[in-house]
Amino acid sequence: MALMDQVLAAAAPCLAGKTVEELMVGISLIGCCLSDGSVGVSYVMREELPNGCSAFPFAQQAEGKPAGEIAGWVVSGGDDVQRAIGAAVLDAASRSVAGIADDEKSGQPFGVEIGREDTVGMVGYIRPVAARIKTMAGKLAVFDHGVYLRGGAPDVFPTEQEKDLLPACDVVILSGTTTINGTIDSLLELCQNAREIVLVGTSTPMFPEGFRDTKVSRLAGAWWKNEHRREIFKLISLAAGISSLSPYMIHKNAVVTHKI
């Protein structure tokens, strides 16, 4: 079974009986609110989106629909916007998962110990995280298709080199957007030698049970302050990014318990 099918199965109890009350599709982020008042946010991957002003009619159909149906778009969606809507619904529904701790902001990123002997791979360029890891690890290799197309950045490699470099990494940081663009399963196959694989960002589905059969060791995602729904949605409508929404974010960190 593909990973995101496992995640949807794990999320089913948290989605049951809920509907999508409101949806906000911005140019950078997508926000949703479920009928229980839970807010979720996911990232918009713009590089491969279709052209045309009427390319996304499905967004208008989501409100009022069962949360489980719309969450399923993370797998069945026809483009990165439709799949990101599904991811936002999953983020909101994860508020019902018990036992997920706030990120304690320890000296190690996401609670993972990284030393000078380590080679770290990062899929999806998260600038502040990359800068922090670069001061700790012996080597950092970042893969980001969009950044590379726009001229790149230090330590950013084309995604074509993932197959050569990721198998040699001791720690791998995967953006939660890999669950949206359909690359998560193939990437995990390349990371079999890593001692830690961390899925990070607001698009990360915070359902640890869905990752028990994988090499993913930690989930580092986000919940949102539901009482600030209006402020969150207003910022999304104005093309704001995650940094603008940070006052309303609750960083979360979950260790995945694997089957023995």
Buried b (16+ CB within 10 A) or exposed e, 240-251: beeeebeebbeb
How far is 120 from 196, CA to CA, in rounded Å? 10
End-to-end C-alpha distance for the chain, whole angstroms: 19
pTM of the model: 0.94
Q: pLDDT, tens digit, for every residue of 150-208?
A: 666 667 888 889 999 999 999 999 999 999 999 999 999 999 999 999 999 999 999 99
**Of 251, 258, 256, 257, the residue nearest 101 (C-alpha):** 251
Domains, in order of start, for the chain = 3-99+225-244 (3.30.390.100), 101-219 (3.40.50.11590)
What is residue 122's three-state secondary structure? strand
**Which residue type, as a one-letter code, is found at position 81?**
V
CB–CB of 92/34 below 8 Å?
A: yes
- Return the higher-pLDDT residue of 141 and 1: 141
How far is 43 from 59, CA to CA, in rounded Å? 15
Q: pLDDT, tens digit, for every residue of 108-128?
A: 888 899 999 999 999 998 888
Provide, rounded to the nearest whole percent, the portion of the chain with pLDDT above 90.
79
